[in-house]
Structure 1
Amino acid sequence: MNKNASKRKEQLLRATYQALSVKGFSAVTLQDISDYAGVSKGVTNYYFKNKDDVLYQTLEWVTNKIYHDDHTAISKETTAMNKLRTYMLSTFSTPKRNRRVYKVYLDFLAQAVHNPRYLEINNQFYENCWSIGREIVSLGIKEGVFYSQDIDNAAITIRTIIDGCLTQWLMRDNEKLPNRDQLHDFYRKICFEAIVGFLTNENPKKLSILEEN
């Protein structure tokens, strides 16, 4: 695929992602996707076989982008605790971004239960997330700041806590709340504290998410 075609396809994937965040999996149509992309439906049909194909590729694109952003962020840090702080800041980037991400992601998870292709993508996403966790935990054990434990299980637990906190935040995210964005910060804080407590078995409240070593 040439450069122009790649850019057009990414434009359509971004449009699909936007349409899904507004309309949801069941309601979105190829015409909606085309409208959000500002192209004719014929262009969308040229790049994708059908609705399932564009949704499948959108899920793959979104999850790969999330992993790439998170891994790029932690790669700039040199200590385990700073990598963990940066991971929290990356996963809890902004309320606006996470509203869109988790609305779409949870919609896909509901479909993945009955769709092996979606499930395969999600399993790869988890493997990528766990690789970040393993990197952080392994370094923390080497530095002596995390207790020695099963690294694979620790990596799974880290992502479980993150997804649990973000899912619960989304379910409580109400436009009428006066402190709507503060709720996002609250869940980021308790997520960080829970993970630090799990990895160190210490009181995490003395470790601010933005505190430098």
Structure 2
Amino acid sequence: MSRSDLASERKTQIINATIECITRYGYSNFSMQDVARVADVSKGIIHYYFLNKEDLMMTVLDHVSSDIENLLHSGDLNSDPITRLSNVIWMCSSIVQNKREYYRINMDFWTQIDQKEKVRQEVASHYAKFRNSIAIIIQHGITQGVFRKGEALQFASMIIAMIDGIALQWLFDEGVFNYDEIVKNSEEAILSFLVIKK
């Protein structure tokens, strides 16, 4: 294994251990020693790759957000805007169910945006990418005459708000509603609002 491969593998090992620590203890309640223990490396190894806890946390946020973006773009092959938007809604919803640690990490980062400007900027940047990805699909639908005219970014924000709101309620109390059913109803409401009736 080359030195760069080993470095990449070590970083990934540390990032995954940090994700586990955030999920287990919360953003503010774990130490670099906890990460070292979970990753089965020394604290010195962690500090070799990451300047400090904040540097590690920014890398984790970027890793989680990139993973989510890659999942969202994996369904981009279909050119029909209705199908693509529906796929995005279901993909986002499946992330909440199947990669709940990612969503919990995002929630932990939300709690830091008032105290840490860098975190606020990173979270805002990732939301901007998310909004833009959805807005591109919506704008494509508007251009094709499939979706109603309007501000695509605003429509994208509404969709994200619905996804986040449902996810938060479900993560706090999984018994409050049938998750798949509410996602289906939300998808129908979004499409009913956007799709032009012919």
Other-structure match for 2:110: 109
Q: 2:17 aligns with which of 1, 5, 15?
A: 15
RMSD: 2.1
Q: Per the alignment, do residues 29 and 183 of structure 1 end up closer, same or farther by CA in structure 2, a change over 3 Å counting?
A: farther
> For each residue in 1:150-195, what CA deviation from the matched residue of structure 2 results, as whole angstroms up to 9, or x when unmatched?
122112222122111211221222xxx5xx8x83212322331232
What letter corresponds to residue 192 of structure 2 in structure 1? G
- Aligned 1:45-56 pairs, distance under 5 A: 45-56=47-58
Contact 2:81 2:141 in 1 (8 A): yes
Other-structure match for 1:183: 178
- Aligned 1:77-116 pairs, distance under 5 A: 77-93=78-94, 96-116=97-117
Other-structure match for 1:60: 62
Other-structure match for 1:138: 139
Residue segments in structure 1 that go unaligned for 5+ positions in a row:
203-213
Q: Per the alignment, do residues 94 and 133 of structure 1 end up closer, same or farther by CA in structure 2, a change over 3 Å counting?
A: closer
Q: Per the alignment, do residues 18 and 156 of structure 1 end up closer, same or farther by CA in structure 2, a change over 3 Å counting?
A: same
Matched residues, number: 195
Q: 1:41 aligns with which of 25, 40, 43?
A: 43
Contact 2:96 2:103 in 1 (8 A): no
Contact 1:15 1:36 in 2 (8 A): yes
User: How many Å separate the matches in 1 of 2:39 and 2:182?
Assistant: 33
Query: What's the TM-score, normalizing by structure 2?
Result: 0.88
Residue segments in structure 2 that go unaligned for 5+ positions in a row:
none
1:198 equivalent in alignment to 2:174: no
Other-structure match for 2:4: 2
Identical counterparts, % of pairs:
28
Contact 1:19 1:28 in 2 (8 A): yes
User: How many Å separate the matches in 1 of 2:91 and 2:112?
Assistant: 26
